[in-house]
Amino acid sequence: MNALRNAIRDSAEGDIARTGPDTVVRRYRFAPGFIGFSGHFPGNPILPAIVQVCAVISLAEEEGGKPLRLAAVRSAKFHSPIRPGEEVSIRYRRSCASGEDVCDATLSVAGKTSAAFQLRFSEEEASR
Amino acid sequence: MAAERLIPQRAPMRLVDRLLSVHEGCGVAESVLPRENMMADGEGRLDEVAFVEMIAQGYAAFKGYLDLVEGKPAGEGFLVGVRNLEITGRAYAGDRLLTSIRTVTSFGGFAVVEGIVTRGDENVASGILKLWLVEDGR
C-alpha cells in the first residue's frame, strides 16, 4: 500500500457502517498535516480531487477485504473544496451489472454534497 | 520549461516535471516520479489516480505557459469534472510518462480538456477533464 492510502486510512473516524445491502458509509477528517494537502496548494490547502477518489477506493478495499484496481472514472463532479479539519462523510454503493464492478460514491461536508462520482473497479493485477 | 514555473502545485503533489511542447490548443508534459512519491507502493507501482492528476496538471502547465507568454501570473486551476477516463495500463516510479492534452473547448473560466498519458508506446490512461481556471488566483 502506498503512503497516501495509508494516510487516508489513518484519517478515518469511527467504523464502517452499512446503510443498505450494497451501501457503505464512513466518516473521515483530514488534518492540516495530512500528506494529501502538501503542495496543494501552498497557503490555500484543498483536498485534491484524486485524493477524494483514492479515499473511496481505500474504503471499498477495506470493506471488501481485497485490493482493487481503478479501471475507469466514468464520471465525476467536484462541487466544492474540502478544507483541512472538515468532517467528510463518504458514502458509496457498489453494483455488479454486465460483469462490471461499479461504484457510485458521494462525499459530503456538513450535509452538503461536495463531490459525486462513478468508478469502475477491477480486481485483476491489483498489488497493494 | 520546468512545470514549477507554470503551476501552483508543489511537491509532493506536483506530478508533472516539465512542459515539453505547446502547439495551438495542445501541449505535452513530462513526469518522472521518484520512488519515494506518496503514490508509489512498495514495488514502485503508481496509484492509478495519479494519471488523472497528470492530465489536470499537464493542462495547468500548458495554460500557465500561455499566461506567462502574455505576461500574466499563472492562476490556480481546479478539477471540477471527469468523463470517461479509462485506465488501461500501469506505470512505475522512474518511468518517463508523457501527458498529451488537447483543449476541446473553453468558456467562461472553464476548460474541457482531452488527455492521454503514455508510457513509451503504451497508453496508460485517457479521458476528458473539466477544469475551472481562476484568473489572477495568486
Give the nearest partner residue to B81 out of A36, A51, A76, using CB atoms: A76
Residue B75: C-alpha distances to residues B16, B57, B60, B88, B121 (Å): 17, 12, 9, 31, 33
- For residue A56 the three cell numbers come to 473511496
Task: Collect the ranges in chain A with pLDDT lower than 50.
Answer: 126-128
Strand bridging mode B77-87 / B122-133? antiparallel
Does residue B134 have a pLDDT over 90? no
| DSSP string for B35-52 | TT-TTB-TT-BBPTHHHH
Range with the largest mean pLDDT of A89-93, B76-80, B132-136: A89-93
Rounded to whole angstroms, the Cα distance separating B120 from B26 reads: 19
Q: Does A46 touch chain B (CB under 8 A)?
A: yes
| Spatial CB neighbours of B91, under 8 Å, sequence gap ≥ 6 | B45, B46, B50, B51, B97, B117, B119, B124
pLDDT of residue A27: 98
Q: Does A124 touch chain B (CB under 8 A)?
A: no
Does residue B37 have a pLDDT over 70? yes
Distance from B63 to chain A by nearest Cα, in Å?
17
pLDDT digits (tens, 9 = 90+) for B3-29: 999 999 999 999 999 999 999 999 999
pTM above 0.90, yes or no: yes
Distance from A77 to chain B by nearest Cα, in Å?
4
pLDDT of residue B132: 94
pLDDT of residue B75: 77
Distance from A123 to chain B by nearest Cα, in Å?
13
Percent of chain B with pLDDT over 70: 97
* Segment (H or E) for B81: strand B77-87
Instruction: Say if CB A84 and CB A28 are below 8 A apart.
Output: no
Chain A / chain B CB contacts < 8 angstroms: 100
